[in-house]
Chain A
Amino acid sequence: DAKTTQPPSMDCAEGRAANLPCNHSTISGNEYVYWYRQIHSQGPQYIIHGLKNNETNEMASLIITEDRKSSTLILPHATLRDTAVYYCIAVQGAQKLVFGQGTRLTINP
């Protein structure tokens, strides 16, 4: 599975859009990009995933570049409850979900 690179931490003001980048330059054609988040001391929570088209659901939007070497998770109106560690994973199948260090996102009032 492709390795992903994320900034270790980010800050965002409450009510603004939070844009979390992820690089996956070695991603292969059949690997999906998954995003999860983990609020302190809880289990990770699935957010969204995509292959090559942009995706949107009630939680977030996922923008994948045309060459698929990077993606951005967008939380359109961040709230304090969005403070968490966000993980970007490039994976062929869910059985190989391997988590990296992720990005610690802090939403500030």
Chain B
Amino acid sequence: ETGVTQTPRHLVMGMTNKKSLKCEQHLGHNAMYWYKQSAKKPLELMFVYSLEERVENNSVPSRFSPECPNSSHLFLHLHTLQPEDSALYLCASTRGQGNTEAFFGQGTRLTVV
């Protein structure tokens, strides 16, 4: 148990669906991250939020829309996804800027059909 909880753990959605992934942490951290891990590929950093402000967006398509309503919660809203978006989506948090360790959730395994 890392203190970072992601829901749902598994999600199957059609290409025309809209769904959201949720991440929450009660570690008192003020930076949160979304990563994508496709099969047999390294983790790709998607978004970084610090103090609820988005500080990084690594050229992610607009069909992925993050939201950080407060420092404990992070969402990833999904719409009109493609089958190649099927992957493990991981959320992480850190205490803040600087050299601190990241705590990861267990991930959401997303399958787009």
Contact = CB atoms under 8 A, between A and B. Distances in A.
What is the interface of chain B mostly: helix, strand, loop, or mixed?
strand
A46 B97 CA distance: 16
Contacts, number: 60
B54 to A, nearest CB: 12
A95 B55 contact: yes
Contact of B90 (A43, A91, A98): A43
Interface in B1-41: 2, 4, 31, 33, 35
Interface of B: 2, 4, 31, 33, 35, 42-43, 45, 48, 50, 55-56, 88, 90, 92, 94, 97-107, 109
A46 B103 contact: yes
Contacts of B55: 95
A43 B31 contact: no
B42 A102 contact: yes
Residue among A36, A41, A43 with most chain B CB within 10 A: A43
Given A43-B92, A94-B94, A95-B31, A32 B99 contact: yes
